[in-house]
């Protein structure tokens, strides 16, 4: 943007920069976001932590933000994981799960075998974050993105993940139901389409939040060359985490989606811990 010689344009440009700086401060200032603390190295104790990725949002993305389903999804999946598997889940002195939020470009990523990024259609990844995330994935980490609906949100996220793992090197595939991830503990025989609870109740039980544009749920993946390990798993046209977050709110919603959502989530965690 050229502003030299035009005072009015210079003032507009300065205003834009201040607005962007304020947005960044609002999202990540003072060590957290709207009172949500960001994890440091001292928060990890060698047990399983639900690690939620904090990112800078593009509010035109139309898909929520990194706080989508927070914190009940994080808490409830951690509780059910501790009850239904032998995984040692980190607990706080209160006995509640010690779930954590990690910055997208932080060193704390490397403390998490699995990181979960909600509403990827709103994510924005800069060059340093892309380099850090790529290193994390290539060193054995796994990224799971969830709550993504329709062609627009998918196109936005695909553009961002290609900054991390370029298309020339890494294909995006549809993960087949014969893949070991779908039978790590539970037999997942179909990809569940789970809408948010509000849409489900308002619509009389429909599941596709964007009609024909999100009619079919997908599990897409990027695999590690040579080993075939899932580095990135992307659940699209579904909101798996809402089935955890809303567990106790409405019986019809829970019985329709809870068991399938938990089966999928627990399988994904166990796969990340063993591959």
User: With contact defined as beta carbons under 8 Å apart, do 154 and 90 qualify?
Assistant: no
pLDDT of residue 239: 98
Residue 258's φ and ψ, nearest 5 degrees, are: -60, -55
3-state secondary structure 206-247: CCCCCHHHHCCCEEEEEECCCCCCEEEEEEECECHHHHHHCC
Residue 216: which of 196, 236, 234, 232 has the closest Cα? 236
**Does the structure show a pLDDT above 70 at 22?**
no
% of residues, the chain, pLDDT over 90: 84
User: With contact defined as beta carbons under 8 Å apart, do 248 and 254 qualify?
Assistant: yes
Q: What is the spatial distance between Cα 182 and Cα 184, in angstroms, rounded to a whole number?
A: 6
**Does the structure show a pLDDT above 90 at 24?**
no
Q: Which residue's structure tokens are 């569940």?
A: 192
Residue 36: which of 49, 20, 24, 52 has the closest Cα? 52
**Does the structure show a pLDDT above 70 at 35?**
yes
**Does the structure show a pLDDT above 60 at 28?**
no
> What does the pLDDT look like over 94-119, one tens digit per residue?
999 999 999 999 999 999 999 999 99
Q: Which residues on adjacent β-strands are paired with residue 56?
A: 124
pLDDT of residue 33: 59
> What does the pLDDT look like over 221-249, one tens digit per residue?
999 999 999 999 999 999 999 999 999 99
User: With contact defined as beta carbons under 8 Å apart, do 144 and 268 qualify?
Assistant: yes
pLDDT of residue 78: 98
> What does the pLDDT look like over 59-88, one tens digit per residue?
655 678 999 999 999 999 999 999 999 999
Q: Does the pTM exceed 0.85? A: yes
Structural domains of the chain in order of their starting residue, each with its CATH number: 25-274 (3.40.50.12140)
User: With contact defined as beta carbons under 8 Å apart, do 243 and 257 qualify?
Assistant: yes
Q: Give every CB contact of residue 214 below 8 A, 6+ residues apart in sequence.
A: 149, 150, 208, 237
Which range, of 10-24, 240-254, 257-271, averages the lowest pLDDT? 10-24
pLDDT of residue 169: 97
**Does the structure show a pLDDT above 50 at 27?**
no
Question: If you write DSSP's letter for every residue of 170-210 in order, what string do you get?
Answer: ---EEPPTTSGGGGSSS---S------HHHHHHTTS---TT
Residue 12 has a CB neighbour count (10 Å cut-off) of 13
Question: Within the chain, where are the H helices?
Answer: 7-28, 72-84, 127-138, 150-161, 197-202, 240-245, 251-274
**Does the structure show a pLDDT above 90 at 11?**
no
pLDDT of residue 60: 59
pLDDT of residue 55: 96
> What does the pLDDT look like over 147-205, one tens digit per residue?
999 999 999 999 999 999 999 999 999 999 999 999 999 999 999 999 999 999 999 99
**Does the structure show a pLDDT above 80 at 255?**
yes
Q: What is the spatial distance between Cα 155 and Cα 148, in angstroms, rounded to a whole number?
A: 10
């Amino acid at each position: 943007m050229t502003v030299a010689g035009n005072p009015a344009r210079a003032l507009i440009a300065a205003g834009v920069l201040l607005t962007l700086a304020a947005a960044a401060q609002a999202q990540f200032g003072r060590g957290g976001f709207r009172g949500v603390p960001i994890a440091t190295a001292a928060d990890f104790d060698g047990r399983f932590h639900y690690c939620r990725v904090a990112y800078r949002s593009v509010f035109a993305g139309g898909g929520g933000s990194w706080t989508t389903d927070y914190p009940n999804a994080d808490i409830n999946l951690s509780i059910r994981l501790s009850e239904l598997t032998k995984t040692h889940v980190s607990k706080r002195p209160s006995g509640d799960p010690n779930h954590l939020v990690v910055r997208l470009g932080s060193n704390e990523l490397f403390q998490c075998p699995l990181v979960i990024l909600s509403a990827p259609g709103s994510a924005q990844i800069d060059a340093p974050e892309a380099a850090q995330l790529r290193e994390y994935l290539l060193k054995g980490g796994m990224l799971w993105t969830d709550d993504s609906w329709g062609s627009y949100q998918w196109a936005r996220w695909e553009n961002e993940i290609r900054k991390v793992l370029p298309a020339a090197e890494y294909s995006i595939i549809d993960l087949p139901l014969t893949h070991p991830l779908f039978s790590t503990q539970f037999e997942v025989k179909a990809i569940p389409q789970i809408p948010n609870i509000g849409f489900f109740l308002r619509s009389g039980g429909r599941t596709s939040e964007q009609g024909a544009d999100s009619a079919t749920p997908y599990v897409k993946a990027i695999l590690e060359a040579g080993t075939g390990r899932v580095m990135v798993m992307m659940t699209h046209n579904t909101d798996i985490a809402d089935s955890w977050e809303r567990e106790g709110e409405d019986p019809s919603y829970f019985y329709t989606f809870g068991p399938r959502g938990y089966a999928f989530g627990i399988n994904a965690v166990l796969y990340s811990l063993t591959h």
